[in-house]
Amino acid sequence: MKDFISHKVNTIPPSGIRQFFDLIATMEGVVSLGVGEPDFVTPWHIREAAVYAIERGYTSYTSNAGSPQLREAISKRLYYDYNLTYSQEDEILVTVGVSEALDLILRAIINPGDEIIIPEPCYVSYKSCTILAGGVPVIIPTMDTGFKVTPDQIETAISPKTKALLISYPSNPTGTALNRDELIGISKVIKKHNLLVISDEIYGLLTYDQPFTSIASLPGMRDRTILLDGFSKAYAMTGWRVGYAAGHKDIISAMCKIHQYSMLCASIVSQMAAVEALKNGKAQMEKMRDEYNRRRRLIVNGFNRIGLDCFMPEGAFYAFPSITSTGLSSEDFAEKLLFEEKVAVVPGNVFGDCGSGYIRCSYATSLENIEEALVRIQRFVGRGN
C-alpha cells in the first residue's frame, strides 16, 4: 500500500521515539518525567460549565470563527494581559488547539519553497507541519546562545524566500523565555526584512520570574505577528482541544478559509468551557502556576546536586538538564535510565539535533514523583555507565 502515500508525507521521517513510548506504556512502576501536559485535572468550575452546557442542549456547530462569547472573552484577555486590541469580529479565530492554529497559519502563508525560520530545540510539530504545508524549515540551533534565538542568528538565516519566523517562548522543551529587550531585538530584524512572526504562546501564562511579553505587543509588531495560544497548558485543558489565533484580519480570514472546510469549528462544549476558564479561571490558574514554580525550584536544585548541570527555566513546566557529564548520548541515557531505574525522560535530540546532550524532564507531576525520580536518577548517575 506504500505506493499510495504522497511524496510529501513520505518526506516526513517516521518518529523514532514512538517505540520508546510504546515500551514505557508496557512497563510497571515507571516514574514519568516525560509527560508534556499538566498533572492537574481541569478545574471543577470549568468541567461543571461544560456539563451544564451539555445539559442545556448545546450540542450544535458554532460559527466557523468560534462562538461570539469565546471570541469576546479572548479579545478581552489579550487586552487586559498584553494591552493588545483584536476585534472579536474578524481578528480572532478559535481553533482545535494551538496544533490546528499552527497548521492553518503555515498553510495560509506558504507558497511552495517558502522558508520558515525555526529555532531549535522546539516543539516537534513545527518542522513537519512546515514541510506538509509545502514550506522549507530553516533551522537555527540555539544551544550556544542559552537556547534563546538572537537577532544575529535570524539575520544570518534570512534569505529572499523567508516568509516567517516561528518562535515559542517559554519553550518546550527548554523552558527558556525571552524578555522584552530580547524580543525588541528580534522585532527589529523582522520589520527590517518585512517578515511575519508566528508566536506560539501556549506557555505564556506559565512564566515565573518576569511577566510575559507577547512579541505582538511591541511597536509595529501587531500586524506582523500571528499570536497563537490556547487553554491546554495554563488551564489544564489538553483534552478539550481548544485554542486560538489572533492577528491581522487578512491573515485570520485566510486561516479561517482553510479551517471552515477542514475543521468547520471547534467543539461547542469545549468552547463553552473555555469561556468559563477565561471568565472565572484566573485564581485557580495562578494556584497551578505557583505549584509548578515550587516544583521547578526543587527539580532544578535536585539535578544540580546530582551533578547534572541544569539552568533555571523561566517558564513552561520543563527542566532541561545536560547529561554530557555521564558520557552517554541523550538516547542511551534515556533508555538505560528507563531499564535500570524505571524513570522516563525524553531525550533532548527529539526536539532537534542541537538538543543532543540534554534530556527534557517535565515537572508537571507530583512532588513525590519528582523526589522519587531524583533519587533514582542519582543512583543511576552514581553507578556510572
Partner 1 sequence: MDTKDREILEILEKDAKIPLAKIALMIALDEEDVKSRVENLEKKEIILQYKTIIDWEKTDEEKVYAFIEVRVIPKKNTGFDAIAKRIYNFPEVHSMYLMAGDYDFAVVVEGKSMKELAYFVAEKLSPLPHIQSTGTHFLLKKYKLDGKIIEEETMDKRLAMTL
Ligand X SMILES: Cc1ncc(COP(=O)(O)O)c(C=O)c1O
The contact set with partner 1 (CB under 8 A) reads 17, 20-21, 24-25, 30, 32, 34-37, 39, 123-124, 172, 290, 294-295, 297-298, 301, 344, 346, 350-351
Which does residue 290 touch among partner 1, ligand X, none (CB within 5 to 8 A, set by kind)? partner 1
Q: Between residues 118 and 328, which has the closer beta carbon with respect to ligand X?
A: 118
Which does residue 295 touch among partner 1, ligand X, none (CB within 5 to 8 A, set by kind)? partner 1
Which does residue 24 touch among ligand X, partner 1, none (CB within 5 to 8 A, set by kind)? partner 1
Q: Does 348 bind ligand X (CB under 6 A)?
A: no
Q: Between residues 294 and 383, which has the closer beta carbon with respect to partner 1?
A: 294
Q: Does 365 bind ligand X (CB under 6 A)?
A: no
Question: Rounded to the nearest whole angstrom, what is the least distance from the CB of residue 242 to ligand X in the complex?
Answer: 7
Question: Rounded to the nearest whole angstrom, what is the least distance from the CB of residue 311 to partner 1 in the complex?
Answer: 15
SS3 annotation, the chain: CHHHCCHHHHHCCCCCHHHHHHHHHHCCCCEECCCCCCCCCCCHHHHHHHHHHHHCCCCCCCCCCCCHHHHHHHHHHHHHHHCCCCCCCCCEEEECHHHHHHHHHHHHHCCCCCEEEEEECCCCHHHHHHHHCCCEEEEEECHHHCCCCCHHHHHHHCCCCEEEEEECCCCCCCCCCCCHHHHHHHHHHHHHCCCEEEEECCCCCCECCCCCCCHHHCCCCHHHEEEEEECCCCCCCHHHCCEEEECCHHHHHHHHHHHHHHCCCCCHHHHHHHHHHHHHCHHHHHHHHHHHHHHHHHHHHHHHHHCCCCCCCCECCEECCECHHHCCCHHHHHHHHHHHHCEECEEHHHHCHHHCCEEEEECCCCHHHHHHHHHHHHHHHHHCC
Binding mask 64-103 for ligand X (x = CB under 6 A): ---------------------------------xxx----
Which does residue 301 touch among partner 1, ligand X, none (CB within 5 to 8 A, set by kind)? partner 1
Question: Rounded to the nearest whole angstrom, what is the least distance from the CB of residue 90 to partner 1 in the complex?
Answer: 33
Which does residue 21 touch among partner 1, ligand X, none (CB within 5 to 8 A, set by kind)? partner 1
Q: Does 201 bind ligand X (CB under 6 A)?
A: no
Which does residue 303 touch among partner 1, ligand X, none (CB within 5 to 8 A, set by kind)? none
Q: Does 199 bind ligand X (CB under 6 A)?
A: no
Contact residues: ligand X, CB under 6 A: 36, 97-99, 123, 168, 172, 200, 202, 230, 232, 238, 243
